[in-house]
Amino acid sequence: MIRFRSFNLRALLRYVFIVALIIPYISYRLEVVKNYIIPTYGNTMYHVGIERLITQTGFYPAQELSYNGGFHHFYVPSFRLFVSSFSLITATDPMVTSGLVTIIISLAIFGIIYAITKRSLNPFAGVCALFLLIISPEMTIFSIRALPELLGLFMFPLTLYFILLNDTGERCSLNAYSYLAILAASITALTHQMTLLTLAFVLAIYGLTQLKNRAELLNAWIPLAAAITVYGAWQFYSLHTLNILELAQVKFHEGMPVDLFASAYKVGFIERTGLLLIGFCILGIVYLEYKKTDKRFLLYAWIGASLILTKNDLLGISVFMDRFLTFMVEGMIIVGGIGAYATLEFLDRYVFDIIFGKIQNAPVKK
């Protein structure tokens, strides 16, 4: 096996790779700064209007401005409040601020994917996950848009990260990581409805895999209960109902279905995910089972729950299938990074070691 004599050299090389990956990642997103306005496709302008009104009045408006206005909000407020606060602190227009926060939150997503993969296996797998992140078309699309889902792509894994850090053992007691997970889940609930639903499904399924471990069960379900409670309180305050079927997105079945390949009216799973990521993700699951790593079922629940939500059209729901795909791809990147690391480990141990061993043992002609 190829080894470095100095552990510090290995760490240095890891940081060199991280910097080499972050340069193209951030340089692509810096294109936002060159524009006079942020990219306005999608629902970007819905939020800028509210954000500008907040900065002008100091109050969060009770009614929506988009779709001709005059009705209560169905959007949750975290992203809008974040952009408005940043705009007031920096004394910049919300339009400009919206572009800047895409860069900031994208960097946060970069960091949280590395942190979760490092915690799940090791830092070298984290570097592999970052490589898969920067070449992911799905994550690129949704990490340059100034929308609440962008913040959700950070807050959702941040909640899971605190759960990963919380080594409960057999004790059923709250600690600092428990409170951080509750706080992150509560903010996630007010960030984006699809993000909240993904988080809820993931924590619910993970909890079901931990029925024999009461401490870990509570570690998953207490943040789940907090998220549902906070969102329920907001929806009742804003829409005066707890019935999620009253949401416009649910009523009108917004979103595009996801099929294996893209078509005129369907998003392509293969195109948005990529064969490389799919292959490494499968290898990552095999490797995690081989290593029997702690809390691997949290990663399985992540991919499994988001897959169910991505294909919710098969359940007759047909709501934002393409948006749930993004969270699935995010989880696949982490597991895929582990699979890529496992591949490199195999090559190092059984291929490179043999090749370099033969070279070193080859007779020298005199």
pLDDT averages per 10-residue partition of the chain, 366 residues: 56 90 90 65 77 92 81 88 94 88 95 97 96 95 89 98 87 87 97 95 97 93 97 92 82 88 90 95 97 94 97 93 96 98 90 64 56
264: three-class secondary structure by DSSP: coil
Alpha carbon distance 82, 84 (integer Å): 6
Please report, for the chain, the start and end positions of each structural domain, with discontinuous segments joined by +.
Answer: 7-356
- Nearest alpha-carbon partner for 244 in 320, 160, 304: 320
- Mean pLDDT over all residues of the chain? 89
- Which pLDDT value is given to residue 230? 97
Q: Which residue, among 330, 60, 44, has the nearest Cα to 190 in the 3D structure? A: 60
Q: State the Cα–Cα distance between residues 163 and 191, nearest whole angstrom.
A: 19
Q: What is the pTM of this model?
A: 0.92
What pLDDT sits at residue 44?
Answer: 75
Rounded distance between C-alpha atoms, residue 354 and residue 362, angstroms:
12
Distance CA 180, CA 228 (A): 16
